[in-house]
Amino acid sequence: MERPRIAVVGVGHLGKHHARLLAGMDELQLVAVVDSREAAVREAAATLGVEGLTDYRELVGRVDAVSVVVPTLAHREVAGFFLEHGCHVLVEKPMTATVAEARELVALAEQRGVVLQVGHIERFNPAFEALRQRGMVPRYIESQRLAPFSFRSTDVGVVLDLMIHDLDLVLALVDSEVESVQAFGGAVFTPREDMASALIKFRNGAVAHLAASRVALKAMRRMRVFSKDGYASIDFSDAQGLLIRKNPGWDFERLPVDEVDTSKIEDLWKYVFEGLLSVERYGGERNKNALREELLEFAGAVRDGRPPSVPGVAGLRAVELAHRVLESIRSHPW
């Protein structure tokens, strides 16, 4: 398959970016955009010079793949339709609104032998990619994902809207089964939870503490990862990271802290952070577009059969954990 034909279903705030980036790619051929809103699809089609449709079912037999960027509650219906017709599918996060729906999509993709990739874009953030390359084994993870109210994605609460990003990242970092979940949350502007906090414990002893809010004063997307050998901090907004590690040769469990004569140390900060520890600031390429990298990976999976880094089963795991968080929130009403 030299240049697979692809369409974008849903050209709202995020779907427009999918369509714009796909239109500029040599790896795929964008042939159509679809949206139930006539004005939106007309504008997108005219801008990109492709066909515009209001009914996604008209694409059957005319495309090899689709990017599904519709509201979450419609993910099962739209993505499932294309999987059933043998099309490769990239579906935005969260994969589906329910666990049962996510399982159905995974089963459909396996039955039809097609690619199912989930749009967990933070996996392609250069700072996160750099952290994974450094091979840390997390013992404690702390994240904050905050945003002002945007009036978007109100068909789901903040757990499936924002926290789902960090749930997926934590599952990618911690190689262990979830043992317990304790969470709290509440509604502010919408009927669903607009802020939430979750404490997740894993069988191997690792712990993750995640906070998410879509009613914050300003945006923040940060994660801190602690291991026995060091500490890492990531700012997803600017794709920058900080890694602090023990220098080779130091046994911190036997370090005689009480016997260190700090009066004889000229520069205590330098003694700690250049002697005992090493500090590495790393940053991803600022001009690297995470969404474009995600779409390129989908193109490679469609053309060459390479498995995507976020397949349907990964999206399913994130949805399963999100619903454990939601169940705990419901058991602790505020």
pLDDT of 255 reads 67
Nearest to 69 by CA among 94, 48, 45: 94
- Whether 273 and 298 share a structural domain: no
What are the pLDDT digits (tens) for 48-102?
999 999 999 999 999 999 999 999 999 999 999 999 999 999 999 999 999 999 9
Write the DSSP symbol of residue 247: P
The maximal CA–CA distance of the chain, rounded, in angstroms, is 78
State pTM to two decimals. 0.92
Taking the CA of residue 26 as centre, how many other CA atoms within 13 Å lie in the half-sphere pointing to its CB?
0
pLDDT of 285 reads 64
Q: Does residue 1 surpass a pLDDT of 60? A: no
- Whether 165 and 72 share a structural domain: no
CATH number at residue 154: 3.30.360.10
Is residue 171 a part of any domain in this protein?
Answer: yes
Q: How far apart are CA 151 and CA 223, in angstroms?
A: 25
- Whether 105 and 64 share a structural domain: yes
* The total number of structural domains that make up the chain: 2
- Whether 160 and 89 share a structural domain: no
Is residue 316 a part of any domain in this protein?
Answer: no
Q: Alpha helices of the chain — where are they, by DSSP H?
A: 15-23, 38-48, 75-84, 99-112, 126-133, 158, 164-173, 268-270, 290-304, 312-331
Q: What percent of the chain is predicted at pLDDT more than 70?
A: 95
pLDDT of 254 reads 67
What are the pLDDT digits (tens) for 198-245?
999 999 999 999 999 999 999 999 999 999 888 999 999 989 999 988
- Whether 60 and 194 share a structural domain: no
- Whether 134 and 255 share a structural domain: yes
Q: In what order do the strands lie in the sheet with 207-213?
A: 178-186, 195-202, 207-213, 140-146, 220-226, 230-235, 240-246, 277-283
- Whether 202 and 230 share a structural domain: yes
CATH number at residue 71: 3.40.50.720
Token pair 């599918």: residue = 89
Q: 2 burial class (0-12, 13-18, 19+ CB within 10 angstroms)?
A: exposed
Contact 321, 48 (CB under 8 A): no
